Structure formats: structure tokens, C-alpha cells
A and B are shown apart, each in its own frame.
Chain A
Amino acid sequence: MGFSLTSTQVIFFIASVIAAGAVSGVFIAVTQDLTNSFSEKGERVQDQLDIEFIIINDPDNIPSSGGNYLFYIKNIGAVKIPTTNDTFNLFVDGEFVVIANYYFADTSIQTDEVTTLYVATSVISAGDHNLRVVGPQAIDSEFAFTI
């Protein structure tokens, strides 16, 4: 009788330690996932606040060269912006421009610097247009111009 009482207590003790350990493990894992997500979201918000650029062309004097129109993108934000076809998307008059039809002169722009965006002349006809350049974290800049 005495032995079985001790055994029961030992079994209860081990079971409670296992249960408490399992609950604690899950709790810590969930907390870690939440804090990681919070940290990543914080970095994205930080990027959204730091990234800022504008198109500085003269609206009625868009230069062209080698079958491309040249648009000048100036980084007026606080961080370097990667300028690739993966990080930037273009819309001309609301129409998506496929990545084969544009490229950048540089792979990134430092703060206060300017890079050239080359857009194929076949994408833009003569007349008035609106160019929307969407960069990292969906930061965008719009520019109305005449060809």
C-alpha cells in the first residue's frame, strides 16, 4: 500500500513535469515566432519610412537614346535603394510594363544620387502619359509627361 502510494506520487510528479515542460516549450516557441514576426514587420515599416525617391525629368523634354526613353530617378530618402527589375515595377498610363522593356543604369542608388531608368520607346507612344514607378516596399512615384 505504501509502495503504491509512493509510485503514484512519482508518476504524478513525472507527469506534471512533462506536462509543464511541454506547455513551456510550446509557449516559448510561439513567443519566439511572434517576436521574430514583429521584428521583421518592424524592418519592413522602417524600410517604408526610409525609402523615398522621385522622378526629376523635365516633363516636356524626355530624352531618348538607343531605342529607350531616359527617366532620372533621384533617391531623396535615407537609405540606399536597390534598382533592379525585381525591386522596381513600372506602369505607363496604368498598364504594367513587362521587365524586358526597362532597365536601370545602376544596381543601386545612394541617398541624394540619381540613376537613369531606360524604358523602351515601343512602350510609350507620342502624347501625354503618366509613369508610375513602384519601388521596394511598394513605395511609388508618379510622373506626368509629354513625348
Chain B
Amino acid sequence: MGFSLVAATAIVGVAVLISLELIVGTTIPTITEVHNSFDEMKDRAIDQIQTSINISDHRTKPNASLHDINIEITNEGSTTLKLADFTVLINGTLKSFTSTTSYLYPKNSAEIVVLALTNGNNKVKVVTGNGISDYYEYTYP
């Protein structure tokens, strides 16, 4: 009877150790990954709050019967913005653009160039990589 109890306790003890290993081996990496994702989400939220842009000026030049525009954007926030992540809409339509620099640092300005736009009243919307935007309207000619 005594040896049976010892054997049964040993078997259950090994099972408990295996279960603990399973719990620790799964729980810790899962909690770590969720924690990392939460940190990234928090960083994104902070960046969004600290991001602000202003379309401060524009220059136009004729391009056959159309025109090109240089849009001057000022970083009014405290985060560095990557211009390749920007999106430009002209009259609601997505337009491709080029930029004079790769990064827009706080309190600095940069120009983005959009080619071959139709004449008349145009409404520009510039959206940063993290979704912050500014509008601007102009008329050409």
C-alpha cells in the first residue's frame, strides 16, 4: 500500500511538472507578444497625437494645357515624418507625387510635386503615414 502511494504520487507529480512546463512555455511568450503589440499601439497613438502638418504654400507652373503644383508642407508636430508614406488626393482622387526630401523634421518644410493637374479650382488633401491630414484649396490659373 505504501509503495503504491509513492508510485501514484510520483506519476501525478511528473504530470504536474509537465503541465507547469506547458503553462509557463506558452503563457510567458504569449504575454510578451501581447505586451509588445500594446507598446507599439501606444507608440502609434502617441505619434498620432504629436503629428501635425500644415500646407503652408504652393507654387504652380503650366504643363501644356494642364499644370504642375509644388505643395509646401510644414511639420507642425514633434515627430519626424517619412514623405514616402504620405498620400495626396487632388479633388478626392489619389495622385502620385515626388518629394524634395525623404524625411520631414519638426518645424521644417518640404515640397511635394504633383504633375499634370486639370485647371480650375482644386482641393488638395495631404495625409501622413499615420493618418493625420491637412486640406488646401487653390485656383489655377
Contacts and interface: CB of A to CB of B under 8 A. Distances in A.
A33 B43 CA distance: 34
Given A12-B1, A24-B12, A38-B26, A77 B44 contact: yes
B12, B33, B92 — most chain A CB neighbours (10 Å)? B92
Interface residues of B, number: 45
B5 interface: yes
**Interface size bracket, A side:** 35 or more
A112 interface: yes
A70 B95 CA distance: 13
Contact of A50 (B7, B40, B82): B40
Contact of B7 (A20, A46, A52, A78): A20
Interface in B5-30: 5, 7-9, 11-12, 14-16, 18-19, 22-23, 25-27, 30
B27 A112 contact: no
A56 B33 contact: no
B22 A28 contact: yes
A45 interface: yes
A24 B44 CA distance: 46
A49 B11 contact: no
A32 B30 CA distance: 14
Interface of B: 1, 3-5, 7-9, 11-12, 14-16, 18-19, 22-23, 25-27, 30-31, 33-34, 37-38, 40-41, 44, 48, 82, 85, 87, 89, 91-94, 123, 125, 127, 129-131, 133, 135
Interface of A: 9, 12-13, 15-17, 19-21, 23-25, 27-28, 31-32, 34-36, 38-39, 42-43, 45-46, 49-50, 52, 54, 56-58, 60-63, 70, 72, 74, 76-78, 112, 114, 116
